[in-house]
Amino acid sequence: MSNNTTIQVSTETKAKLDKMRVSKRDTYNDIIENLIEDSMELSDEAKKDIEEALEDYKQGRVYSMADVKKNLGI
């Protein structure tokens, strides 16, 4: 069972939070958790994956959207 608490936010902040909803079922807790997660530092694994992707790009190991569509037959 989770514990809940009440916080006070300005009307303007509430309006901003409302605009950040991904779906109508998102709670303010969901929105705040997403904001906290987005502000946290990337994990070492994520940093490594980004570095590898950048190296692939620099080395030309990429596909254009046209190539992808052609390979998929679309």
- Under 8 Å between Cβ of 22 and 33: no
- Under 8 Å between Cβ of 43 and 33: no
Q: What's at 20, amino acid-wise?
A: M
Co-location of 33 and 46 in the same domain: no
Domains contained in the chain, number: 2
pLDDT score of 23? 93
Co-location of 47 and 66 in the same domain: yes
Domain that holds residue 62: 42-74
- Residue 17 burial by Cβ neighbours in a 10 Å radius (0-12, 13-18, 19+): middle
Alpha helices by DSSP H, 4-64 = 11-19, 28-39, 44-58
pLDDT score of 1? 59
User: Is the whole model's pTM more than 0.85, yes or no?
Assistant: no
Co-location of 47 and 73 in the same domain: yes
Average pLDDT by consecutive 10-residue portion of the chain (74 residues)?
A: 89 96 94 90 92 96 95 95
